[in-house]
Amino acid sequence: MSVAGVITRESLSGPGETSDRLVAAIGARGLTLFARIDHAAGAAAAGLTLRPTQLLIFGNARGGTPLMQAQQLLGMELPLRALVWQDEALRTWVSCPDVHWLAQRYGAAPGATPVVAALAAALEGLVTRAITPGADDLDEELDETFPASDPLPWSHDTR
């Protein structure tokens, strides 16, 4: 699926886990999660059905302000957003704005290029962390399976 100005990547996990991983990545980067909107829950409350769809709104002044200094109208697009959604084939996706496209659309000054690149890279990193189970998940799983308080069966520790 291709929409101008939107980057969409498939997740290796379901929508709930992907949203949770994105929230964790946002927090780990020191960003503020301003809102987590569950569109499917809203639809259900109105008696309608919608596949899992959550909108996360996040950011911080250090990242967004320089972009707005380059072109104040970009404030309509900030804070950043990411949509975690499930398609009809039950695949999970994360869609977010293409920061380069936004800068071009709003005619941000050429001096904003480093800010745009940094913000785009940060957003890419967040999405990648959300869609790809990483080593931190493996560590958590190992801790649950083999608690540190229990010596491993192959350990030579005889405490």
- Structural domains present in the chain: 6-134 (3.30.310.70)
Q: Which pTM was predicted?
A: 0.83
Q: Is the peptide bond before 79 cis (omega within 30 degrees of 0)?
A: yes
Determine the Cα–Cα distance for residues 62 and 74; give it in Å rounded to an integer.
14
Cβ atoms 41, 126 nearer than 8 A: no
pLDDT tens-place values along the chain, 159 residues long: 689 999 999 999 999 999 999 999 999 999 999 999 999 999 999 999 999 999 999 999 999 999 999 999 999 999 999 999 999 999 999 999 999 999 999 999 888 999 999 999 999 999 999 999 873 554 455 455 445 554 444 344 444
Short-list 109, 34, 35, CA closest to 71: 109
pLDDT at 110: 87
Report the run of H or E that residue 57 belongs to, with start and end.
strand 53-59
